[in-house]
Structure 1
Amino acid sequence: MLLRFRVANALSLRDEQELSFVVPQGEDASAARTVKLSDGKTIDVYPLLGVFGANASGKSNVLKALKKMREAVWNSYTRWGPHAPIPRECFLLDSAMADENTFYEADFVLEDGVRWTYGFELSDTRVEAEWLHAYPKGRRQEWLDRDASRDREFHFPGERIQDRALLARTTRHNALLLSRAAADNHPQLSRIHRWFFDNLWDIEPEAERPQREAYTMLRLQDPEARSRIEELLRVADLGIMGTRVEKRPGSEHPSVRLVHTDGGGEGVAIDWDKESFGTRSWFALLGPLLLALDQGAVLLIDELDSSLHPRFAAEVVRLFHDPLVNPHGAQLVFTSHDPSLLSTPSGGRLLDPGQIWLTEKDVRGASELYPLTAAEPGEGEDLTRAYLEGAFGGIPTLTAGQIGRRLLMARATEVERT
C-alpha cells in the first residue's frame, strides 16, 4: 500500500512536491482504511486520491512522475546503457535545473505490515544518491546509504543486506542498486523491487486502449471475471444484457460481441466496431480495474472523466471506497477536470477533502501540488460550487467571453497590419 510519494525537478514539478494517502491528523475521513503496521500501531490511509486542476497545470505530470520512478526501478540495470546518459526530464523553464538532481521517494507498506522508504537522486550521468529505510518496529532502520560524491559510494548501515560487496562492486554508476539486486533475485531486495513491478499501473485516455480492450476480452473467458464484467456493463446503463464470446482458431484472443436489449428476451449482438466510443472506453477500463482490485495494486488513471459519463467515473470511485468490493486494499490515483466528482447528486461529498488534491502553476511556470485540506473548507461547504467559484484554486483564470474577445483583438491586429 502506497503511503506517500515525493518528487522534485521532474517535468513541470520544479520544487519538491508530495502526494500523500495518509489521513491528516484530526481529519474525519469516512473513506479511510485502517492499516495495521508490524509494530502493532495503525495508520489511516485513503484508498483513493483525485488530482484536479486547470489544463496544463501539471496534474498529469504527477502521475507521469510516479511512472518515471517505476520505470527507473524497472529499467536502470537492464535497459539503461552503461555509457548512455540517464533518461530524465528536468524542469525546462529554468535552465539552471539541468544541473540539479531529479529526486524521487516513495513510502509504502508491504504485506507483512513493515513500512519502507525508498528513494534516489539522478543526474544526467549517474545515480547521485540512493537510500532504503525500514520501520519493522516503528523506528527507522537504515539498509542502504549511497552517495556518489563519497570515496566509498555504498554504505550499508547495520550490514543487514546480504552480498553487499558483490552489489557494490557490480552496480554501475548509472544504475540503481535495487535494480541490480533484483536481476539476481536477491533474497531481501527483490521483494522491494517487486512492489514497483506490482504497482503504479497506468491508464491514459487513449494510449493502448486496443490492448486494454483485448485484455478485458481475454478475461471474459474466465466465468467469474465474465460475471463481474457483465454486471458492470449492465449497471452502467448502456442497454447491455450480456456478452457473446467465441474462440477464434489460432488466436488466444476471443471474438466478443456485446448483447444489447431490444425490448424482447433475446437481445441483439452488435459487432465490436459498431459499438460507441463511450461503451468501448468503459469496457477497456474494466479488465485492468478488476485486476487491480483483485491484486490490491495501485492504479493510476489519467483523465478519469475522459470518454466516460460522470456517473461512470463516480462508480469507479465507489468501487475503491467499498471494502467489500475492494478487500485487498487496492488504491487509485486519478486526474480529472470534472468538479461533479467532488459531490454526490444529493449534495453530499463523494470524496473527503483529504482525498482531493489540486495543481496550479506559479509565476515561474512550476506546478504546485496541495491538498484541499490546506484551504480549510467548511464542514458543510458545497465543494463543487466552491471549487468552481475559485475558492480553492486549481481552475483556469478565465472570465466569461475572454477567449472570444482575445480572438477579436487578434483579428483586429491582423487587419491593421494588412
Structure 2
Amino acid sequence: MLLRFRVANVRSLRDEQELSFVAPGESERTAAREVTLSDGKQLAVHTVLGVFGANASGKSNVVAALMGMRAAVLRSYADWTSYDGIPRDVFALDAKSEDETALYEADIVLADGVRWTYGFELGSRHVEAEWLYAYPKGRRQVWFERDAQQGKEFDFPGDRLQDRALLARTTRPDALLLTRAANDGHKQLTPVFDWFKNNLWDVTPETERTQREAYTAARLLESEESRHRVEELLRVADLGVSRVEVERTSGGRPVVRLIHSGGGVETALDWAAESWGTRSWFALIGPLLLALDTGAVLLVDELDASLHSRFAAEVVRLFQAPWVNTKGAQLVFTAHDPSLLRMPGGGRLLEPGQLWLTEKDERGATELASFADWEPADEEDLMTSYLAGAFGAVPKVSEGQVGRRLLRVDEAARMETEEA
C-alpha cells in the first residue's frame, strides 16, 4: 500500500508537498484500513483520497507527479540514454527552478508488511541523490544512500545489500540504482521496483480511452466470472444496458455491442452510437477491476468528468468497502463536484483526512493541504463549508462576474469601432 508521497519542483508543485494516506487521528480509524506492519504494529491507512480545487489549481499535477515517479523508476536505465539530459518537468514560472533538483519520495508497505521509503532527486543531467530505507522492526535501516556531490557517491552501510560494488560501478550518473538493479533481477531490490511497476495505474477520461475500452473488452473474454462482473457493473450504472455481446475479430481485437433494453425490446447499438458517459464508464471498468483484483493504486483524474456524481460516489464506495476491496486497493481521484463531499441522505462520504485541496499562491505554485488541517467539527457539513470558502481552494468568482466582464469587453470593442 501507499502511505505517503512527497514531491517538489515538479510542474506547479514548486515547494515540497506531501499527500498522505495515513489516517490523521483516532476519529478516522473507522473509515481507514488497519494494516499490520512487520514489527506487529497496526497502522490506519485510507484506501481513498480525493483532491479538490479550482480549475488550474494543480489537481491534475498531483496525479502527474505520481506517474512521473513511476516512469522514472521503470525507465531511467533503458530510456534516459536517448535524452540530452534527464527528462524533467520542473516549475516553469521561476527561472531558478531549472537549476534545482526535482524531488520524489514514496513510503510504501509491501505484502510482507515491511515499510520502505524510496526517493530520489533529479538534476538536469545527473541523479543528484537517491535513497532506500526499510523498517522491518520499526527502526530505520539504511539500505543505500547516494549523493552525487560526494567523492564516494554511493554509501551502503552494513552488509545487508548484495552486489554493492557491482551496483555502484555499473549505475550510470543519469540512471537510478533501483532501476539498474531490477533490470538485472536483483533479488533484494526487485520487490521495491515491482511495487512501482504494478501500481499507480492512471485513468484520464480524455486520453487513452480507446486502449482502456479494449482492455475492458478483453476482460469480457477472460472467463464467465469476469464477463458477469463487467455486465453487472454496466447494469448497476443505470445506463439501460442489459447484457453485452463480444466477439474476437480475425485481427484479434474484441468487438463489443451493448444490448439496451426498453419496452420489452432489446437493441444492439453500434459502438460509435453509445454516449460519452457510457463509453467512459465502460473504459473505467477494466482498470477498476484490475486495481481491486491486485490491490493496486488507481489514479483517476477528473472522476466526475463523465460520470454522474451519485455514480462517482459508488466508485468511491467500492474502494471503501472491505468486503469488495479485499486486497487493499487504493484510489486517488481528482474532482470538481463538491457533492462528492456529502452523501445524498446527509453525512460524509469521505472523512476530512481523505480530502485534499489544491490552491495556487501568488507565485503560481500549488499548495496541497488536507481538510483535516482545518480541524472541522464532527457535525460540520464539509460541502457547505467548502463552497463557502472555509477551506479555500474555490474559484474567486462572484455571481454574474463572468457575464459582466464579457459585457465590458464587448462595450470597449464597440467604442473602439465607433472611434475608428
Q: Where on the TM-score scale, by shorter chain, does this alignment land: which range? A: over 0.9
2-structure distance, mates of 1:197, 1:347? 39
The one-letter code matched in structure 2 to 1:233 is L
Give unpaired runs (5+ residues) of structure 2.
none
Give the TM-score normalised by the residue count of structure 2: 0.97
SS of residue in 1 equivalent to 2:242: strand
3-state secondary structure, aligned to 1:121: strand
Q: What is aligned with 2:376?
A: 377
Aligned position for 2:407 = 408
SS state at 1:80 partner: helix
Instruction: Provide the C-alpha distance between the structure 2 equivalents of 1:376 and 1:180, rounded to a whole number of angstroms.
Output: 44
Which whole-Å CA distance do the structure 2 matches of 1:400 and 1:344 have between them? Answer: 26
Per-residue deviation at 1:412?
2.9
1:253 deviates by 2.4
Aligned to 1:246: 247
Residue 14 of structure 1 deviates from its aligned partner by: 0.6
Which stretch has the larger CA shift, 99-108 or 379-388? Answer: 379-388
Pair 1:377–1:83, CA change in 2 (3 A): closer
> For residues 129-172 of structure 1, what are the alpha-carbon distances to aligned partners after superposition, in whole Å with 9 as ceiling and x for unaligned?
00000000000000011000000000101132111111101101
1:32-181 equivalence runs, <5 A: 32-81=32-81, 84-181=84-181
Q: Distance in 2 between matches of 1:262 and 1:136?
A: 58
After superposition, residues 11-410 of structure 1 pair within 5 angstroms as: 11-81=11-81, 84-221=84-221, 222-248=223-249, 250-264=250-264, 267-410=266-409
1:30 and 1:267 map into 2 onto residues whose CA distance is 44
Any idea what the Cα deviations from partners look like across 1:23-44, whole Å, max 9, x if unmatched? 0133334320000000000100
CA deviation after TM superposition for structure 1 residue 416, in Å: 3.9
| Aligned 8 A contact 2:28 2:353 in 1 | no
Instruction: Give CA-to-partner distance per residue, 1:270-298, whole Å, 9 cap, x none.
Output: 22111111111101100110011000000
**8 Å Cα contact 1:30-1:352 kept in structure 2:** no
In structure 1, C-alpha distance between the alignment counterparts of 2:146 and 2:300, rounded to whole Å: 33
Residue type of the partner of 2:147?
D
TM-score normalised over the length of structure 1: 0.97
Q: Which moved more, 1:269-278 or 1:182-191?
A: 269-278
Contact 1:14 1:367 in 2 (8 A): yes
Distance in 2 of aligned mates of 1:272 and 1:346: 36
AA at the equivalent of 1:201: W
Deviating above 3 A after TM superposition, structure 1's stretches of 4 or more consecutive aligned residues are 415-418
Hey, what's the Cα distance between the residues in 2 that align with 1:366 and 1:308?
A: 29
CA–CA distance in structure 1, aligned partners of residues 380 and 9 of structure 2: 35
> Structure 1 residues 263 and 412 mapped into 2: Cα distance closer, same or farther (>3 Å)?
closer
Counting matched residue pairs gives 416
Contact 2:304/2:336 (CA < 8 Å) preserved in 1? yes
| Contact 1:7–1:18 (Cα < 8 Å) also in 2 | yes
Query: Aligned to 1:185, what secondary structure does the other structure show?
Result: coil
Report the alpha carbon displacement of residue 82 of structure 1 after superposing the two structures with TM: 6.7
Conservation of the 8 A alpha-carbon contact between 1:82 and 1:174: no
1:35 counterpart letter in structure 2: V
Unaligned runs of 5+ in 1: none
CA contact (8 A) 1:48 1:331 kept: yes
Amino acid at match of 2:378: E
> What is the DSSP-based 3-state SS (H/G/I as helix, E as strand, rest coil) of the residue aligned with 1:267?
strand
Letter in 1 for 2:128: E
Taking every aligned residue pair, what percent have the same amino acid on both sides?
63
